[in-house]
Amino acid sequence: MGLRGNIFKFIPGIVMMAAIAIFARGGADFGCPWWHGIETYLASDPVVKKWTVDTLHLNYILICIIVGMLIRNTIGIPGWAAPGIRTSRLFIKVGVIFLGSLYSITELANLGINAVTIILAFVFATLLFTLWLGQKLGMDAASASVLAAGLSICGVSAVVATAPAVRARTTEVVYSIATVLSFGVISLFTFPAIGTLLGLSPHQFGAWAGTAILNTGQVLAAALAFDPGTVAHPSVSLKTGQIFSLARVLLLPFVVLVIAILYSREQADEYNIKTGFWNRFPIFVLGFLAMVFLTSFGLLGPTDPPSRELLFIRNLYSWFFAIGLAGLGMQISFTELRKAGGKPLLIGAVVALLKAVAALVVVTVLIRP
Amino acid sequence: MSERDLGELDVLFETEEVEDYAALSLAALILVFVLMLF
């Protein structure tokens, strides 16, 4: 569903996502100072806190996703809320743009060089390994290509972007999306616990999550679960994870291009490489870069200590993420996930596990705490 | 795979760009609001 048409039909779903976000995060910013958010209540009892907050990292972000998943998989999404819930990705994107207010140009350049090197190696290694494994196990070229794109770049968008280039059948697309989403959901809940267990620094965790977790929303959620940060001291994991995730998103058009070239060679097919490439450039990333420039040149006031404008924007992106991720949770259907099966699931399991372990090794060796 | 599912996937292909422009416009509007507020 596009954003055209009657704007009012989006409101009920957006209100529903916002209600979940307020339930998890508290109502102080919305005129309900008496509601402190479920996270605060969990933290008030030492025993409950030890298991939920300290061990499982259940902060407002994960609570939003869990509540969303519970609603979707028990009572279901009411028809009147469905259009609004589909705007969840829009909220995440606006949040990502505002996240630009955390960086300076120098910082972005330093982080960016590390991120691009690691991401470039991982994306193309995963891509080629998945294609090779797919061929070895007798998968057809189109199925292997969509799965390879999904496992190397950013999950669902990559699968969807590659599908027309290789003329994949819809069942192959659905299998690949379900496989990628299943691993995303598993890593969302396991990565923060593993990171704590191994004593990773927030910076190392951000790099690991940004390299190994496929979906941008899930990278942000895992990073915020590991290191929630505050408005005055924003999450370091989130800052690092975001750059790694964006570096990967920016590679999407290149991967589609490589797959399209490899596939057309094999099939003697003609795919409009030029149009396919530019159609897939993630334009919202330009907003993020604009935000970095505005902050670096002091248009939003001093950064240290942060100005009122910057503090307002940082609080705002936390709300945008909370609302967007509640919607993301409501899009995770266990019935859909059960569609994952056969070879995509087997290959997905091998590749995702190898990638998580390899990324962990590379990050602990190359990234200083 | 039903026709409906196919239709939904087609819509996904189309809207990513629209969504990106919507995100940029919304962020710009909020930014103007923030700059006016403080």
Give the closest of A90, A294, A300 to B23, CB-based.
A90
Give the closest of B14, B15, B38 to A308, CB-based.
B38
pLDDT digits (tens, 9 = 90+) for A96-147: 899 889 888 888 888 888 888 899 899 989 989 998 998 888 888 888 888 8
Q: pTM (2 decimals)?
A: 0.81
Flag residues of chain B having pLDDT under 70: 1-15
- Residue B24 to residue A286, Cβ atoms within 8 A: yes
B4/chain A closest Cα distance in angstroms: 11
Comparing CA positions, the residue from A82, A2, A7 lying closest to residue A330 is: A82
pLDDT digits (tens, 9 = 90+) for A150-163: 888 766 667 777 77
* pLDDT at res. A108: 84
pLDDT tens digit at each of 369 positions of chain A: 444 556 788 899 999 999 999 999 999 898 888 999 998 888 888 888 888 877 777 888 889 989 999 999 999 999 999 989 988 888 988 998 998 898 888 888 888 888 888 998 999 899 899 989 988 888 888 888 888 888 887 666 677 777 777 777 766 677 777 787 788 888 888 999 999 999 999 999 999 999 999 878 889 999 999 998 887 788 899 999 989 988 888 887 788 777 777 776 666 555 555 566 666 677 888 899 999 999 999 888 888 788 999 999 989 988 999 999 899 889 888 887 777 667 778 888 899 899 999 999 999 998 877
Cβ neighbours for A72, distance < 8 A, ≥ 6 positions apart:
A329, A330, A331, A332, A333
- Does the structure's ipTM exceed the value 0.90? no
* Cα separation values, A316 from A118, A245, B31, Å: 30, 21, 11
Give the closest of B13, B21, B28 to A283, CB-based.
B21
Q: What are phi and psi of A227, to 5 degrees?
A: -140, 90
Instruction: Number of A to B CB contacts under 8 A, please give it.
Output: 75
Q: How far apart are CA A276 and CA A269, in angstroms?
A: 14
